[in-house]
Amino acid sequence: MKIVSADVIVTCPGRNYVTLKITTEDGITGLGDATLNGRELSVVSYLRDHLCPMLIGRDASRIGDTWQYLYRGAYWRRGPVTMTAIAAVDCALWDIAGKAAGMPVYKLLGGQAREGVTIYGHANGQTIDELLEDVQRFLDQGYRAVRVQAAVPGLESTYGLHGSDTGKTYEPADAALPTENVWDTSAYLDFAPKLMSAVREQFGFGFQLLHDVHHRLSPLEAAQLGRSLEPYRMFWIEDPTPAEDQDSFRLIRQHTTTPLAVGEVFSSIFDCQHLITNRLIDYIRTSVSHTGGITHLRRVFDLAALYGVRTGSHGAGDLSPVSFASALQLDLTVPNFGIQEYMGHLEPASEVFKTNYTFADGYMHPGEAPGLGVDIDEEAAARYPYQPRSLPVNRLRDGTMHDW
């Protein structure tokens, strides 16, 4: 099953997606998501200029060996660009393996370990009332878990808000130059418990409640936040503090029982090792498309399982439907599955990506189509050319750069 071509498709149906398409000599095609939001073209080049030529003539069924060849063969280790490119190759090869076997990838990974994958949606609002209405919409659809974000009073813009009529949350990432946001930790720490209190008062405790802090706090502030949210029994708070200084999570842990989820910006098992083996987090957020593909993410999840850490993969709208389908295939099989983020995709994406996953009762299922279960319509993709866009940056009131 020799690889005869490897092509990169760049498209912007609502937001930019980079997709790798590998074709074998018998005409089987496999897809992998290679989207790195705000830095898309660096992965395009990594693939087109470096990895694609190496793939031609290789045996598509040698998934693990190809992973090692690309990882060790780079000499330069890890990092989001490298690991996203390798992930795209890996997922495309799993897609091909599934199609060759006539099975969905989850069956190749050991078969389903649960009936469906619990997902959480993104509710948001400019005010608490607007947020409550949005939460209601998710509960009405059958969601069992909802992430809530609302505008912090006194700040001009808040992460996680950007109402569209679909109720999905997209960052205001519309220009090549980053927009500049202003952050105020005190205003946020005052507001967060009021927000969660309003949600629990209105809807009770019959669903899981999540919240993303998006790397904004110091460890001590994160400890204060975790404590203040304990009455509302959060499923997790996410990225309470940037995770470069991993030992600092000990301090958060010492002060609060609010569960912690970290890892959406990590790209390898080595980034997770300290947090997991020291039991400093409860959920690992690494994603299939930014962490080396199914082959590598499975190792992360296995390491996590040894330490009682459960999975909670990143599933924002800037990860394509190919990525989301890959995540579902793996989520369905692992023993320590926790939850899966699902932000959905803007409407034009459904013209480009044809998916098979289904939602019912709060659960997603990847479907029974062989492989990952996603096809790409390249003509539709060509109708939505790449648009340069950046993620926002964040500053304190005095202008100091902060984490966004």
Interaction site with ligand EZ4 (CB under 6 A): 37, 171, 212, 214, 264, 314, 316, 318, 341, 391
Find the shortest distance in angstroms from Cβ 301 to ligand EZ4. Answer: 18
Rounded to whole angstroms, how far apart are CA atoms 67 and 90? 7
Rounded to whole angstroms, how far apart are CA atoms 40 and 297? 21
Q: Which of 17, 71, 122, 214 is catalytic?
A: 214
Active site residue 159: yes
- Interacting span for Co ion (CB under 5 A) from 158-166, 259-267, 329-337, 361-369: 259-267
* SS3 of residue 343 by DSSP: coil
Identify which of residues 251 and 391 has a Cβ nearer to ligand EZ4 in the complex.
Answer: 391
Identify which of residues 134 and 212 has a Cβ nearer to Co ion in the complex.
Answer: 212
Active site residue 214: yes
E-only strand ranges, 184-273: 208-212, 236-238, 260-262
Q: Going by C-beta distance under 8 Å and a sequence separation of 6 or more, which residues neighbour residue 165?
A: none
* SS3 of residue 398 by DSSP: coil
**Contacts within 8 Å (CB) and 24+ apart, 129-133:** 130/163, 131/195, 131/198, 131/199, 132/198, 132/199, 132/202, 132/203
Rounded to whole angstroms, how far apart are CA atoms 180 and 404? 9
The number of beta carbons lying within 10 Å of the beta carbon of residue 185 is 16
Identify which of residues 221 and 341 has a Cβ nearer to ligand EZ4 in the complex.
Answer: 341
Q: How far is CA 207 from the centre of its chain?
A: 21
Identify which of residues 367 and 392 has a Cβ nearer to ligand EZ4 in the complex.
Answer: 392
Site string for Co ion, 189-218 (x = CB under 5 A): -----------------------x------
Asked if 318 is part of the footprint of Co ion (rule: CB under 5 A), the reply reads no
Find the shortest distance in angstroms from Cβ 341 to ligand EZ4. Answer: 6
Q: Which of 159, 342, 357, 363 is catalytic?
A: 159
Total number of residues that touch Co ion (CB under 5 A):
2
Q: Which does 37 bind (CB under 5 to 8 A by kind): Co ion, ligand EZ4, none?
A: ligand EZ4
Identify which of residues 264 and 318 has a Cβ nearer to Co ion in the complex.
Answer: 264
Which residues form the interface with Co ion (CB under 5 A)? 212, 264
| Catalytic positions, written as ranges | 159, 214
